[in-house]
Structure 1
């Protein structure tokens, strides 16, 4: 074996060496894309909140009856997108109820105001069809009275406590009457009493449909107690607030007492407080006539 030999002498570069900016940009973009995909996948697997309405049916096995858009703060005018959604919900509810079924309970899968919105808008949609409707506000933590422009008391808890007669507590509206939460103490315990069943039976005799706004299924057992006295149930879900486990638990609570679960109504994440008056239809007037209701979070004026 012979020693190697130099063929050509090394040459100094004619120009200084520089990094390739296009190569660096392409490489950085690819790395960023891969990191973004990885973070998104991790978040998808670790975040247990409902992020898409389709996931309620796909992951939680609860049919979706309606999906509301960004504006969700009161009773919708009938010709608005939200109003049309609840008109369709009304039609589906009526098609699902058997002859003689009158009571529909609405509960939130998670604490919040979604159930209040569903109950009030469903009752309004039923009333627009010409039916006699009573909206029963059984969640003392909610604010349906402000939304509907009625006094918060007397109401259901006062009736159950024997402080006022049912006929005196029901507040008249246009085609829809409202039984507010009331002001009696220990309202939660009253919802477990035998007087609740007797009250709902009397309401069955007085109205074609009774819509009951129940406390959240995640907050207490009152939703299950109310559902056991109802003919059907609806679950309200808030995107990016309600967890999948809460949807499954709410559905299971309703099924355990034998109440048919019609499905879920899905809202975007709702504002907790604040708001300004919004317009909703006067139920005895043409659809383009409006009266003012207070949005959730505001107290009724006057």
Structure 2
């Protein structure tokens, strides 16, 4: 009884100590206020905007929204490393100019091949391997390889403010999903550890996968190619196929997320669209309209009309990466 009385007394004297900031890496700006206000109103049973817990679905793009994406999507850098590794063992796999450019680290030559060339690189680097072995390889690379300019591992380049946002939403009854153009097996290799998101709540692009019995062992084998591209209009399709309902909260960073933002916020009732705008050249990278990776133009222009919150990384975040202050 005395302990209870003491606890109550402390709560009265220090009422704010029990209310730790759920978003400590967010500065006290309009972006943070908008997020907190939205979560408060949809979780308050007395609010006219209350949303039942089973309808609190939040979806997040990954590249450029939950972790960095420069100078190239991380999965692209992984593919280049794996291609070079394979070519060292068997140079005969370098059958055309795009593959030879990739092996030589010639990014202009790689980009000259366009989307077809990138798919070819993925076919060579991501095929003829079991799903389990691929995920283990991806996990080792993400947690062990170093980014070419920051010196951090790729796992350390997740965004601390967004990791906090994911936790904040889950603490308030949301289910959080990744919906991204990256390969689903690549993202699933670290989604739980990096973001607290289980593998079955990750939606991404898919290559062709086949079931085979090899050496008496039933195995799912990656064959390369593209089975489903989870980008642009493909994102709402992936959401309805895998989740079965429209989210009420969407976060992205590029025009590849436009349709997902548009579809989410077009639904009835309270909706929230968030765009991560890369404005911090000092701590991260500054880019938008003219970028080859993560281009942001249409979504940025239409954000005011749709009521989407545009997060200014330089102003709204006190910290960028989980692995560095």
Query: Is the helix fraction higher in 1 or 2?
Result: 2
* TM-score, normalization by structure 1: 0.38
Name which structure has the greater RCO, CA cutoff 8 Å, separation 6+. 1
**Structure with bigger gyration radius:** 1
